[in-house]
């Protein structure tokens, strides 16, 4: 995966040594509150190992998000096909120590810049649980607009957001 840089962050392909941090993040019930149920340590380790293996050498996928200065693991950012559609989704999941610091906004903006500027996408979408106010604020900050409710990931009634390339160019 292409390494992406912001003033504070490095988004890079996952490495095998990210497995413990990724597993720990995905086992935290607060982090996963709006995503899915947390599995056993064995299940989450298996899922994390598969994610690391699947995302090597891809144009789109899931990046590790880390601090540029200290290399601290902050979480994951994604630019992936939304299941059961042709849409490309931006998303993020952060460890609690990264919450409230603008890291999700910075990572999501970077992924949209990459998607529109380098990959040539026409639009990028996002879905979030209606109760996830923090995520909705991030999506608004990067210029996405609420489009209504949508089914995704087997869940009805998720909040659906969209950003077109034209709106991204105007928003920047």
Q: Considering only residues 55 and 159, tell me which one the structure prediction assigns the higher pLDDT.
A: 159
Q: Which CATH architecture has domain 4-171?
A: 3-Layer(aba) Sandwich (3.40)
pTM of the shown model: 0.91
CA angle 103, 105, 107 (to 5 degrees): 65
Per-residue confidence (pLDDT) for residue 123, from 0 to 100: 97
CA angle 21, 37, 133 (to 5 degrees): 85
Q: 12 pLDDT exceeds 90?
A: yes
Per-residue confidence (pLDDT) for residue 164, from 0 to 100: 97
Domain boundary assignment for the chain: 4-171
Which residues, other chains included, contact 63 with Cβ-Cβ below 8 Å and sequence gap of 6+? 1, 4, 11, 12, 13, 14, 55, 76, 77, 78, 111
pLDDT in tens, 57-74: 788 999 999 999 999 999
Cα–Cα distance list, 126 to 7, 20, 73 (Å): 24, 27, 23
Q: How many CB atoms lie within 10 A of CB 150?
A: 17
Q: Tell me the longest C-alpha to C-alpha distance in the chain.
A: 46
């Amino acid at each position: 995966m292409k390494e992406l840089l912001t003033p504070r962050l490095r988004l890079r392909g996952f490495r095998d040594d990210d497995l413990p941090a990724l597993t720990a993040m995905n086992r935290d019930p607060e982090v996963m509150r709006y995503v899915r149920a947390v599995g056993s340590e064995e299940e989450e380790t298996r899922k994390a190992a598969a994610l690391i293996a699947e995302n090597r050498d891809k144009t789109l996928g899931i990046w590790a998000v880390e601090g540029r200065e200290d290399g601290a693991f902050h979480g994951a950012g994604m630019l992936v096909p939304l299941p059961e559609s042709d849409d490309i989704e931006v998303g993020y999941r952060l460890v609690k120590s990264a919450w409230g610091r603008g890291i999700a906004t910075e990572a999501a903006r970077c992924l949209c810049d990459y998607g529109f500027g380098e990959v040539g996408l026409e639009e990028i979408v996002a879905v979030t649980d209606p109760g996830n106010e923090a995520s909705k604020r991030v999506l608004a900050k990067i210029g996405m607009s609420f489009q209504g409710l949508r089914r995704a990931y087997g869940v009805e009634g998720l909040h659906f957001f969209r950003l077109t390339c034209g709106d991204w160019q105007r928003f920047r």
